[in-house]
């Protein structure tokens, strides 16, 4: 069977979809324990549910590894900022089990503010300490996910997922891969080369998924961090289906440099090899925060990159399945109300949800098939095949493209820009491709 994009969804699903702005529980409602969920008010099971967009971040660090805030504080930040899901993805750590942390160690990262804000938000009956502030070993307990999730989750509005950043090294370079919605810790198993390390750790994720029968989403993180992973590496580890086309950490070399390509260019280079030479499915792009700093200090702050996933239900399984089917887009600020690909006419269409005082530029980017069945020529990789100024656009494939994808750029900068002259963007997934012919 040839495989094409969106194979898990019917065309019908794609033609009647409207983005819905998330409405989540406010901080005030949380603190009072008051629920506004309609599902709490009726015993009827939901019927005739239409797919909708859910906003989420799947790359987040907390005090469980090298982040500088408590996990339930971080979750509250995302609730308060309109997100629907959040995966905590600490380095080689799950938020499980008993863990005490010296308050002095927290102060080394964030000053006194982290503990003060934590106590103010959740109160002394929730915050669990050992000793008194004058003791050298004054400590606070980090709450495991299963303990604090009841405080922040609300059916149909906000859920937490367990994630892990499987953090390995090879050839002196960092090789990091996230697993979202895993159940058991994965200890990195290394490899002789970068590619072998990617393959080995990915295999562990896929084995756990199979063994437990639980949907897990692996994605390769920040390839240009430490200039660790090339477009060729991304192309050749074909079991890897997802990578970070945008990571909000300022240290990940998103734009590349004089001699090395930026991340978005790497996406097209890798997919040109996959579809043009290897007959392998393309990489899909994910945007994340990779957040570490939560108190306004410089560094990797929350709210810079996220995914919008279209599914009927807000559950880990539905979100992961939708992403595996390519039914999501990435954003650093631009919101889309619809993205559709008509399999019959081979037309990719999208509609932007405009923000006040913003104008939009939409590029359709394709890699053209080589007429001689060799690798696509470099100049035909990732070229702009159509551009529109406005909030709606569509592109019909001519048959020459290996795939097409769209990038929307706003005239406005992001709320918290990472690099000079940055503009809000949205990236849709490559469509129109076919493998296994
Ligand atoms: Zn990392
Ligand atoms: Zn990270």
CA distance 178 to 242: 10
- Write out the residue range of the structural domain in which residue 396 sits: 50-97+144-427
Is residue 54 one of the residues assigned to a domain?
A: yes
| pLDDT tens, the chain, 437 aa long | 455 554 433 333 333 333 333 333 333 333 333 344 444 555 677 777 899 999 999 999 999 999 999 999 999 999 999 999 999 999 999 999 999 999 999 999 999 999 999 999 999 999 999 999 999 899 999 999 999 999 999 999 999 999 999 999 999 999 999 999 999 999 999 999 999 999 999 999 999 999 999 999 999 999 999 999 999 999 999 999 999 999 999 999 999 999 999 999 999 999 999 999 999 999 999 999 999 999 999 999 999 999 999 999 999 999 999 999 999 999 999 999 999 999 999 999 999 999 999 999 999 999 998 877 677 788 889 999 999 999 999 999 999 999 999 999 999 999 999 999 999 999 999 999 999 87
Q: How many angstroms is it from 6 CA to the middle of ligand 1? A: 29
Q: How many angstroms is it from 290 CA to the middle of ligand 2? A: 5
The H-or-E segment that residue 120 falls in is helix 113-122
CA distance 58 to 307: 8
Q: How many angstroms is it from 37 CA to the middle of ligand 2? A: 32
Q: How many angstroms is it from 260 CA to the middle of ligand 1? A: 19
CA distance 113 to 181: 31
Q: How many angstroms is it from 247 CA to the middle of ligand 2? A: 9
- Say which DSSP state 226 is in: G
Is residue 401 one of the residues assigned to a domain?
A: yes
296: CB partners within 8 A, 6+ apart: none
Cβ proximity of 85 and 54 under 8 Å: yes
CA distance 213 to 286: 24
Our measurement of the distance from residue 296's CA atom to the centroid of its chain's CA atoms, rounded to an integer in Å, reads 22
Whole-model pTM: value is 0.90
Our measurement of the distance from residue 48's CA atom to the centroid of its chain's CA atoms, rounded to an integer in Å, reads 28
State how many domains the chain has.
Answer: 1
Q: How many angstroms is it from 162 CA to the middle of ligand 2? A: 14
Q: How many angstroms is it from 176 CA to the middle of ligand 1? A: 5
Q: How many angstroms is it from 61 CA to the middle of ligand 2? A: 6
Q: How many angstroms is it from 247 CA to the middle of ligand 1? A: 10
Q: How many angstroms is it from 236 CA to the middle of ligand 2? A: 23
Return the axis-axis angle of helices 113-122 and 103-110, rounded to nearest 10°: 110
Is residue 134 one of the residues assigned to a domain?
A: no
Q: How many angstroms is it from 96 CA to the middle of ligand 2? A: 18
Instruction: Tell me the pLDDT tens digit for each residue of 345-370.
Output: 999 999 999 999 999 999 999 999 88
- What does the pLDDT read at residue 44? 74
Q: How many angstroms is it from 148 CA to the middle of ligand 1? A: 25
Q: How many angstroms is it from 76 CA to the middle of ligand 1? A: 23
Is residue 121 one of the residues assigned to a domain?
A: no
Residue 325's SS3 state is: coil
Which one of the ligands is nearest to 291 CA? 2
CA distance 61 to 387: 37
Kindly report the length of the chain.
437
Which of 241, 242, 271 is closest to 367 using CA atoms?
271
Which of 19, 4, 12, 53 is closest to 404 using CA atoms?
4
Q: How many angstroms is it from 85 CA to the middle of ligand 1? A: 20
Our measurement of the distance from residue 248's CA atom to the centroid of its chain's CA atoms, rounded to an integer in Å, reads 10
Q: How many angstroms is it from 391 CA to the middle of ligand 2? A: 33
Q: How many angstroms is it from 165 CA to the middle of ligand 2? A: 6
Q: How many angstroms is it from 44 CA to the middle of ligand 2? A: 41
CA distance 50 to 59: 27
Is residue 25 one of the residues assigned to a domain?
A: no
**Given the DSSP bridges, would you call strands 392-396 and 347-353 parallel, antiparallel or unpaired?**
antiparallel
Q: Exposed, middle or buried: residue 153 (CB in 10 Å: 0-12, 13-18, 19+)?
A: middle
Return the axis-axis angle of helices 113-122 and 71-80, rounded to nearest 10°: 70
Is residue 332 one of the residues assigned to a domain?
A: yes
Q: How many angstroms is it from 362 CA to the middle of ligand 1? A: 30
Q: How many angstroms is it from 198 CA to the middle of ligand 1? A: 13
Which one of the ligands is nearest to 59 CA? 2
Is residue 181 one of the residues assigned to a domain?
A: yes
Which one of the ligands is nearest to 169 CA? 1
Q: How many angstroms is it from 197 CA to the middle of ligand 1? A: 14
Q: How many angstroms is it from 131 CA to the middle of ligand 1? A: 34
Which one of the ligands is nearest to 252 CA? 1
Q: How many angstroms is it from 88 CA to the middle of ligand 2? A: 10
Cβ proximity of 349 and 340 under 8 Å: yes
What residues flank ion ligand 1 with Cβ within 5 A? 176, 221
- What does the pLDDT read at residue 32? 39
Q: How many angstroms is it from 61 CA to the middle of ligand 1? A: 10
CA distance 379 to 395: 20
Q: How many angstroms is it from 289 CA to the middle of ligand 2? A: 8
Range 327-338 burial, b when 16+ CB lie within 10 A, else e: bbbbbbbbbbbb
DSSP count for the chain of H helices, then E strands: 10, 19
CA distance 104 to 139: 8
CA distance 273 to 257: 22
Query: What CATH number has the domain bearing residue 189?
Result: 3.20.20.140
Return the axis-axis angle of helices 145-152 and 71-80, rounded to nearest 10°: 30
CA distance 100 to 139: 6
Is residue 336 one of the residues assigned to a domain?
A: yes
Q: How many angstroms is it from 94 CA to the middle of ligand 2? A: 13
At 297, give phi and psi (nearest 5°): -75, 165
Residue 192's SS3 state is: coil
Cβ proximity of 251 and 336 under 8 Å: no
Q: How many angstroms is it from 21 CA to the middle of ligand 1? A: 30
Which one of the ligands is nearest to 163 CA? 2
**Given the DSSP bridges, would you call strands 392-396 and 401-410 parallel, antiparallel or unpaired?**
unpaired
């Amino acid at each position: 069977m040839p495989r094409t994009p969106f194979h898990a969804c019917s065309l019908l699903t794609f033609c009647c979809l409207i983005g819905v702005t998330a409405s989540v529980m406010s901080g005030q409602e949380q603190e009072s324990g008051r629920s506004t969920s309609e599902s709490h008010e009726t015993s009827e099971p939901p019927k005739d549910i239409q797919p909708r967009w859910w906003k989420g971040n799947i790359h987040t660090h907390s005090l469980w590894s090298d982040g500088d805030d408590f996990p339930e504080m971080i979750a509250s930040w995302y609730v308060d900022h309109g997100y629907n899901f959040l995966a905590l993805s600490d380095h080689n750590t799950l938020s499980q089990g008993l863990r005490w942390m010296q308050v002095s160690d927290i102060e080394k990262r964030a000053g006194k503010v982290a503990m003060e804000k934590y106590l103010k938000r959740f109160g002394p009956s929730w915050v669990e300490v050992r000793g008194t502030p004058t003791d050298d070993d004054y400590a606070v307990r980090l709450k495991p996910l299963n303990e604090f999730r009841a405080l922040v989750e609300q059916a149909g509005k906000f859920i937490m997922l367990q994630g892990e950043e499987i953090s390995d090294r090879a050839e002196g370079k960092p090789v990091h891969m996230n697993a979202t919605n895993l159940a058991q810790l994965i200890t990195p198993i290394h490899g002789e080369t970068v590619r072998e390390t990617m393959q080995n750790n990915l295999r562990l994720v896929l084995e756990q998924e199979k063994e437990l029968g639980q949907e897990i989403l692996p994605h390769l993180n920040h390839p240009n961090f430490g200039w660790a992973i090339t477009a060729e590496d991304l192309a050749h580890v074909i079991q890897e289906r997802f990578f970070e086309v945008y990571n909000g950490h300022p240290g990940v070399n998103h734009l590349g440099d004089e001699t090395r390509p930026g991340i978005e260019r790497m996406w097209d280079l890798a997919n040109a090899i996959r579809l043009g030479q290897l007959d392998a499915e393309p990489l899909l792009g994910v945007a994340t925060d990779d957040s570490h700093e939560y108190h306004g200090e410089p560094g990797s702050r929350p709210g810079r990159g996220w995914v919008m996933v279209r599914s009927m239900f807000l559950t880990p399984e539905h979100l992961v399945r939708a992403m595996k089917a390519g039914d999501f887009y990435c954003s650093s600020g631009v919101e889309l109300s619809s993205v559709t690909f008509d399999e019959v006419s081979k037309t990719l269409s999208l509609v932007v949800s405009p923000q006040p005082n913003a104008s939009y530029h939409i590029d359709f980017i394709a890699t053209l098939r080589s007429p001689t069945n060799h690798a696509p020529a470099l100049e035909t990789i990732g070229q702009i095949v159509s551009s529109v100024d406005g909030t709606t656009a569509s592109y019909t494939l001519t048959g020459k493209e290996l795939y097409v994808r769209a990038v929307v750029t706003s005239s406005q900068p992001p709320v918290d820009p990472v690099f000079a002259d940055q503009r809000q963007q949205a990236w849709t997934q490559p469509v129109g491709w076919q493998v296994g012919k």
